[in-house]
Amino acid sequence: MKGKDSFINNKIDFESPNKNIVPLTTKINNGKLFIGGCSVEQLVRNYDSPLYILDELTLRNSCKAYKNALNKYYEGDSLPIYASKANSSLFMSNLISSEGFGLDAVSEGELLTALKGGVPYEKIVFHGNNKSDKELEFAVANKIKVVVDNNYDLERMINFSEYLDRKIKIMIRFTPGIECHTHEYIRTGSFDSKFGFGLENLTYVFEEINKFKNLDLVGLHAHIGSQIFELEPHRDLGKILVNFAIDAQKYGHRIQELNVGGGLGIKYTNEDDPPSIEDWVKTISESVTEECKKNNFQLPLLMCEPGRSIVSTSGVTIYKIGSFKEIPGLKTYISVDGGMSDNPRPITYQSNYSACLVKDPLNKNQINKYTIAGKHCESGDVLFKEIEIGSCQTGDLLCVFGTGAYNLSMSSNYNRIPRPAALLVSNGNAELIQKRETSEDLLKYDVLPDRFIKQS
């Protein structure tokens, strides 16, 4: 098979990075792949592989796209909040804070990372469907706003407010009952969801909170899913949130904040066609504004929680090709030096990505079909079931695009394989933002009981 056009030739959309497969700074110099002005081959020589790379320009442009669109389309105050589960680190916390974002956390670890990374406590919200007592205590002690997800949360927040005898601001999350076309594991807005109060419970919740003078219900939250390409469900969500904010007034609550969640999809492959960040924000902003004006309801602080669409396109993962296995008449396996421990999404969600050879990003050489497998002891550890790339050999480098979200944050030490290093690239400079783990690091928390030590 002869060479064919590469997706890298696609026109770059600088205004809405989620509509690109590759980072904004992706270039081909002398036939080789460069990102952030850095030679990918040289980065691997310096930092080894597998290797996570984040492009700073793409990250910042993604943040600015949300901020600019909110300023353009929403007449009231707004606060975009980064969903840190997508990629949580001191670096990411610091970067999004510098761009004026808040942060959404779902554990004490993510809360601590946000605070240490420089996110102001008043811009952090704490989510989760099964928060521990310790996590809630940490959030309350640091004056972080808690999103109450269920009765268990509510009971404990009532106890905190009574015991501390001070005002505690909370939001409540409910399930809006909106279906959208996405993977069943990442649907969070339908009636059958582990997240949030059911609509039928909201009257009880409003009444219960009103009994306690120190519990201050300031906002409502709902989220309808992830990797969504449709705008209409988000338009519906805006209307639903406003109407329940109006209902809350009957029970003595003044809702000042509405959080529409996130969920905007990104372009992983040429077949994907997500809306732009601007169109998504416009849809949400117009929906909330129209419903507020129709009901003479004061415009609330509008919050949204993008995660994937902030960080995913900025990230790539570089692997080194190792063994080949040809099954005549069926397929040829290529194995790389990573896999499900650094990217569990293909085996978990059957997720698709785009990739190219670092030495032949434009597919100028003869094209072959390969199945690209990871190195882990699982038959399902396959990154690509069938991909067309140029002819390659052991030692060549493979670049997988769109891995900035849910790769590092979902990585593991399965088979006792250390996690990769992560780099930030910008203007020809590369900076370490996460050290590569070593095999010795994996033993740090192992404990051999004394009686076994004596026996040995």
Per-residue model confidence as pLDDT tens digits over 85-95: 999 999 999 99
Q: Is 139 helix (H, G, I), strand (E, B) or coil?
A: helix
Active site residue 304: no
The whole domain housing 129 covers 57-310
| Cα→Cα distances 55→71, 357, 385, Å | 25, 19, 27
d(CA 456, CA 454): 5
How remote is the C-alpha of 24 from its chain's centroid? 18
Domain presence at residue 447: no
Task: Choose one of 294, 310, 326: the last residue of a domain.
Answer: 310
Distance of CA 136 to CAs 107, 205, 330, Å?
9, 19, 54
CA separation for the pair 85, 82 (Å, rounded) = 9
**131 and 174 share one domain:** yes
To which H or E segment does residue 87 belong? none
pLDDT, tens digit, for every residue of 99-141?
A: 999 999 999 999 999 999 999 999 999 999 999 999 999 999 9
pLDDT tens per residue across span 8-20: 888 999 999 999 9
pLDDT at 185: 33
Q: Residue 189's pLDDT is what?
A: 44
Choice among 63, 377, 392, 399 that is catalytic:
377
The confidence score (pLDDT) of residue 451 equals: 87
pLDDT bucket at 184, cuts 50 / 70 / 90? very low
Pairing mode, if any, of strands 301-304 and 315-327?
unpaired
Q: What is the DSSP string of 418-441?
A: PPPEEEEEETTEEEEEEPPP-TTG
pLDDT band per the 50, 70, 90 thresholds, residue 6: confident
Percent of the chain with pLDDT over 90: 90
Token pair listed for 412: 């593991």
In a domain, 452, yes or no: no
Using CB atoms within 10 Å of the CB of residue 35, give its burial: 0 to 12 exposed, 13 to 18 middle, 19+ buried.
Answer: buried
What is the structure's pLDDT at 366? 86
* C-alpha dist (Å) from residue 264 to 137, 229, 260, 273, 349: 32, 7, 11, 11, 17
Q: What pLDDT score does 192 carry? A: 67
Mean pLDDT, rounded, of the chain: 94
Map tokens 């706003």 to a residue: 145
Helices 232-249 and 277-294 sit at what angle, rounded to 10 degrees? 30
302 and 389 together in one domain: no
Q: Based on the fold, state whether residues 161 and 86 are members of the same structural domain.
A: yes
Note whether residue 2 is domain-resident: no
My answer on whether 67 and 27 are in the same domain is no
What pLDDT, in 10s, does the model give residues 280-328?
999 999 999 999 999 999 999 999 999 999 999 999 999 999 999 999 9
Q: Verify that 18 and 73 share a domain, yes or no.
A: no
pLDDT tens for 407-428 read 999 999 999 999 999 999 999 9
User: Is the pLDDT reported for residue 369 higher than 80?
Assistant: yes
Contact at 8 Å (CB) between 257 and 270? no
Quote the number of domains for the chain. 2
Q: Are residues 127 and 218 in the same domain?
A: yes
